[in-house]
């Protein structure tokens, strides 16, 4: 159960971070409204807060989160940008998720 909560929290965190960066991208690159910066700032604040909810050392959380971020970014590529991931995108995502699993769920003494 701990593992599912951790992965779910990482996924929410990644969506918050990606949305917080995607909205300014829409403003800067696609000429959308500058009003997108307000929800972008809120999304990035949510991202930072979500990272604090993990009960383990911050460095470990940041390192493992990176793997989930890559996976969610590839999903974003597919679901939001409408670009189907390549086999290499999927393989790379699998590799970083394996790294996240090793970092977060390996046995520890302390």
What is the structure's pLDDT at 18? Answer: 96
| Res 87 pLDDT > 90 | yes
Asked whether the beta carbons of 33 and 63 are under 8 A apart, the reply is no
Domain boundaries, given as residue ranges, for the chain: 2-105
30-80 pLDDT, tens per residue?
Answer: 999 999 999 999 999 999 999 889 877 788 888 888 999 999 999 999 999
- Global pTM reads 0.85
What is the structure's pLDDT at 23? Answer: 97
Banded model confidence at residue 110, pLDDT cuts 50, 70, 90: low
Q: Choose between 59 and 22: higher pLDDT.
A: 22
């Amino acid at each position: 159960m701990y593992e599912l909560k951790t992965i779910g929290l990482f996924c929410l965190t990644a969506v918050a971070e990606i949305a917080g960066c995607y909205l300014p991208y829409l403003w800067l690159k696609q000429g959308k409204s500058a009003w997108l910066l307000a929800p972008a700032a809120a999304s990035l604040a949510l991202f930072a807060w979500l990272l604090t909810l993990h009960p383990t050392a911050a460095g470990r959380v940041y390192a493992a989160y990176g793997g989930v971020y890559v996976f969610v970014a590839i999903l974003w590529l597919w679901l939001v940008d409408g670009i189907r991931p390549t086999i290499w995108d999927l393989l790379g995502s699998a590799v970083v998720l394996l790294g996240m699993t090793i970092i977060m769920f390996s046995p520890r003494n302390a």
